[in-house]
Structure 1
Amino acid sequence: MSEGILVLNAGSSSIKFQLYAVGGDDSLTRRFKGLLGGIGTAHARLQVWDAGDAVIADERPEPARMRDVAAAQEVLGAWFLGHIGTPPLAVGHRVVHGGPDFAEPVLIDDAVLARLDALVPLAPLHQPNNLAPIRSIRARRPELPQVACFDTAFHRGHGPLAERFAIPEALYRQGVRRYGFHGLSYEYIAGHLKDLDPLLPERRVVALHLGSGMSACALRAGRSIDSTMGFTALDGLPMSTRPGQLDPGVVLYLQEQGMTPAAIEHLLYHECGLKGLSGLSGDVRDLLASDSPPARLALDHLAYHAAGAIAALASKMGGLDAIVFTAGVGENAAPVRAAIGARCAWLGLVMDAARNAAHGPRISADGSRIAAHVLPTNEERMIARHTLDLLRGYRTVW
C-alpha cells in the first residue's frame, strides 16, 4: 500500500478503527476494521477483521495496559506497527462536538486542539475520549497529519427556527444553541438514500440513529433540517444511559436537593435512559430478553418517544415520505422497529413483519404510503472520505 487513511472512532470504553487504501483516483478501499473494547475493565479485547470480514486478530491485552483510552491507544499503535507496514497518509478522528467554530473537518494543530478541549463540558462523555488518541499520536508522530471530523457539522445548515433556543441573544452569541449530533452517521445515510430508492434523496425522510446514543434527524433533499439533539448529546430521545428530553427544572430541583454538578452530570450521562427506567440495563438486547415489567416499560418508552419525534420532524418538513433505521439497535432490533412502526400507523406506515424480521432493507409493505427501510451506517468511511478530501484540497459544504 503506497498510502492509506487510518480512521479512529474513540468512545468511553472502546476504539473502533478502520484502515483504507487510497487508489489512484482517490477511491477508498477498506483493508481492515477493528475494535479495541473493554477499555478500563478486565475484559479488554482487540479484534481485527480483513476486507472480507475474516478474523485476522483476536487478542486480550493485559488490563494494566488498557486502563484508559490514552493507554489503549498505545496498544493499538503497537499492533499497527507490526501489521500495516507503510505509515498512513493521515489519521481521521470522530470528534463529537465542534461548537460554533467548526462547521467542517479541520487539520489538527495545537490551537485547534485547545479549542476542542474547551468544548469538553458540552460533551463530557465523548469529547475527552475523542481527543485522547489525537494527543497520543501527536506525542509520538507529530509530523503525521490528523483531521477532526465533527458530529455537529452536518447540522450546521439549520435555520434559526431549528437552531435557536428561546433565550436571550447574548447567550446565543456565546454558543448556546441547538447543534445536533450523530451528524457523520446522518451524512452517510443521506449519501446512500439512492441505494434504497433512486427518488429518495429528494424526498422527506426521518432517519433514526438508534444505538447507545439515540436521535432522529429530518432530511429533506439530503440535507439536515432539524434534529432531536440540541446543545449537548443529552437531549432528544431516551438513550441507553441518558434521559433524552428533560425539563430543565429537574436539574434545578436536583441542585436544590444538594446534588453537586459532578453528581448531576454522572446521573444524567450514566444512570438514566433505558438503564434508569428498567433498573436492569441500558442494553436493548438485555431488555428484549427480559420479561420484567420495568424492562417492557423502558422499551415502550423508547418506541413512544421515537414515534413522537418522527411525527414532530415530519411536521417541520411539511410531510413524510420515508423512515430509515440505522446504528446498532436500528439495524438489528426488529422488535424495536416494529413497535415504533406500529405507533406510526396513523401516518400511513404499514410494516411488513417478514421483511422486518429479515432486517430489510425495505421493511414496509408494498402498499404503505410511507416507506420504511434499514440502512447500515458507516461513520468511519465518512471520516476517511472527509480526511482525504481535506488533504487533497476538496471541500464539502452543507
Structure 2
Amino acid sequence: MAGVEQAILILNCGSSSVKAAVFDDALREVSRMEVTEIGGGARMDGRPVAAPDHRAAIEALLGRLPARPVCAAHRVVHGGAGLVAPCVIDAQTRAAIADAAALAPLHNPAALAGIDAVAAAAPGLPQVACFDTAFHATNPPEAVDYALPARWRAAGLRRYGFHGISYAGLVETLDPLPARLLACHLGNGASLCAIAGGRSVATTMGYSPLSGLVMGSRTGDIDGNAVLALAAAEGIAGASRILNRESGLRALGGGSDMRALHASPEGRAAIDRFVYWAVRHAGSMIAAMGGLDAIAFTGGIGENDAAVRGRIVAGLAFAGAVPVHVVPAREEAWIARAARACLCPKGAAEAGAAFAPARDGP
C-alpha cells in the first residue's frame, strides 16, 4: 500500500459487525477489512480481536489503515423523507438519522453506533453519510403514497425504496446511459428500479425492504391481512421474524444459496417463483417508464447467475429486444466519490475523472 497519502474510510456497520473499505487519494480501493461478532468472540479478518463494542472495533480498524484518513463515510440504510443526498454529518444530520431509526430498526441504530464510535475514536475527523433511500427521492407522489388516512401518511407511512446506492453507482457506470433502464439488484435482498433519464421513477421496495420480489429470506409482497393473521398467531415480533428471516427462498426451497437451489427439485421450484415475480414486477417498472431501452443486472445473483438472468430477460421479450448489461456492484466506490464531493465540492469533477469503474457490455 505504498504511495497512499490520504485515505477515505468507508464503513458499513451492522448490529455486530463493521465492514470497511479504504480508498486512496485517487479513489482507488486499496484495502478491505471486517470485524465480526462484536461483543463476543470478535474477529478482524478472521483473527481474534478485542472488540466488545463498535468503538473498540472502529479503533482496531483505524489502527490497520494504510494512511491517515481524511474522512469516514458511512452507508446508512434510511434517510427518511428529509435526507435525500449524501451529506456531512453534524448534530442535525445525526438527529435526523436517529429519527429515521424507527423506519429501519435493524439498520440505522447500527449506523449510528458506527458514527458515534468514529467520533469517539477520532475526534474531529469529518464524517459523511450516504443513504440507500436517497436515490428514490425523485419518485413522483403517486408512486410513493399509500392510500392511507392523511394522519398516517404524515406520520411517514409511505414507500421509500432501497438499494439506492447500488442504483446510483449503476447509473454512473453505464455510458451511454439508456433513457429507460430497468435496473435489477438481485441478491439476498432483491429489488427492481425504473430509471428514466437517470432518475428513479418507481421501485419495488416500499416502506421497508420487505416488499416487492421474493428474496433470500423475505416474503416480498404479501397481503396486509395475511400479515395481521401472522401477528395474531405469532405476535408482532414473531410475525416480523417469519416475514423477514424465515420466508422467501429459504421457506420455498430450503435455503437461499442459488447454487444449491438449482440442484434440487424444491430449489428449482423456488427459483421459478423468484423469476416469476421478478418478471411480473418488471412489467410494472416498464409501465412506469412508458417503455424499455435496456436492462441492467447487479448484485450477487444478478452478476453471477446467468440462468436466472436469461429467464428474466426471456420473460420480458414482450417489451422488445434490448441491450442487457451486467454491472458489478461497486457501492463503496460510489460512496468514496460522494464523500469527496461533499467535503470538497470543487474537486468533485476531478474525483469523477479519477474514478473509472469497470463495465461489462451487453
TM-score by length of 1: 0.80
Task: Say whether 1:250 aligns with 2:226.
Answer: yes
Q: In the TM superposition, what are the counterparts of 1:91-110 in structure 2 within 5 Å?
A: 91-110=72-91
| Residue 155 of structure 1: aligned partner | 136
CA RMSD of aligned residues (A): 2.4
Indicate if the aligned counterparts of 2:193 and 2:203 stay in contact, CA closer than 8 A. Answer: yes
Q: Distance between the aligned counterparts of 2:218 and 2:130, measured in 1?
A: 23
Contact 1:123–1:233 (CA<8 Å) still a contact in 2?
A: no
Question: 1:20 maps to which residue?
Answer: 23
Kindly indicate whether residue 343 of structure 2 is the aligned counterpart of residue 391 of structure 1. yes
Contact 1:11 1:130 in 2 (8 A): yes
**Residue 37 of structure 1, CA deviation:** 5.0
Which of 123, 127, 133 is the aligned partner of 2:104?
123
* Equivalent of residue 56 in structure 2, options 74, 85, 92: 74
Distance 1:91 1:157 in 2: 27
Answer whether contact 1:184 1:379 (CA < 8 A) is retained.
Answer: yes
Equivalent residue number for residue 360 of structure 2: none
Q: 1:236 aligns with which of 190, 209, 212?
A: 212
Displacement of 1:145 after TM fit?
A: 1.3
Identity of aligned residues (%): 39
1:91-240 maps to which residues of 2 (within 5 A)? 91-194=72-175, 198=176, 201-240=177-216
Give the 3 Å change call, closer, same or farther, for CA 112–145 of structure 1 in structure 2: same
Ranges in structure 1 where 5+ consecutive residues have no aligned partner: 47-58, 349-368
Residues of 1 paired with 2:15 and 2:188: CA distance? 11
Say which SS state the counterpart of residue 208 (structure 2) adopts: coil
Is 2:245 the counterpart of 1:270? yes
Partner of 1:337: 309
Please give the alpha-carbon distance, in whole angstroms, between the structure 2 residues aligned to 1:208 and 1:11.
24
User: Aligned residue for 1:54?
Assistant: none
- CA drift at 1:395: 11
AA aligned to 1:285 is R
User: Offset of 1:272 from its aligned partner?
Assistant: 1.1
Q: What is the CA distance between 1:189 and its match in structure 2? A: 0.5
Tell me whether 1:285 sits opposite 2:252 in the alignment. no
Q: Which amino acid in 1 is paired with 2:48?
A: P
With over 3 angstroms needed to count, the CA separation of the structure-2 counterparts of 1:287 and 1:395, relative to structure 1, is farther
| Cα distance in 2, alignment partners of residues 283 and 111 from structure 1 | 41
Asked whether the equivalents of residues 41 and 48 of structure 2 are also in contact (C-alpha less than 8 Å), the reply is: no
Indicate how the Cα distance of structure 1 residues 115 and 79 shifts in structure 2: closer, same or farther if over 3 A, else same. closer
Residues 345-374 of structure 1 show CA distances to partners (whole Å, capped at 9, x for unaligned) of 3333xxxxxxxxxxxxxxxxxxxx222110
> What is the Cα deviation at residue 222 of structure 1?
1.2
Matches within 5 A, 1:3-82: 3-11=6-14, 14-22=17-25, 27-36=26-35, 44=43, 46=45, 59-61=46-48, 65=50, 70-71=53-54, 74-75=56-57, 77-82=59-64
Structure 1 residue 214: Cα displacement: 0.5
What is the CA–CA distance in structure 1 between the aligned matches of 2:144 and 2:212, rounded to whole Å?
14
2:359 alignment partner in structure 1: none
Unaligned runs of 5+ in 2: 349-362
Deviation at 1:31, TM superposition (A): 2.0
Q: In 1, are the aligned partners of 2:169 and 2:329 still within 8 Å (CA)? A: yes
Could you say which residue in structure 1 is the equivalent of 2:271?
Answer: 299
Equivalent AA in structure 1 for residue 19 of structure 2: K
| Residues 48-89 of structure 1: CA deviation (Å, up to 9, x unaligned) | xxxxxxxxxxx4225xx467xx44x63453243144242x11
Q: Could you tell which deviates more after superposition, 166-175 or 176-185? A: 166-175
Secondary structure at the aligned position of 2:209 is classed as coil
Q: Does 1:90 align with 2:64?
A: no
Deviations 1:258-316 (A, max 9, x none): x22222222222111111222x212323323x31x321222111100011111111011
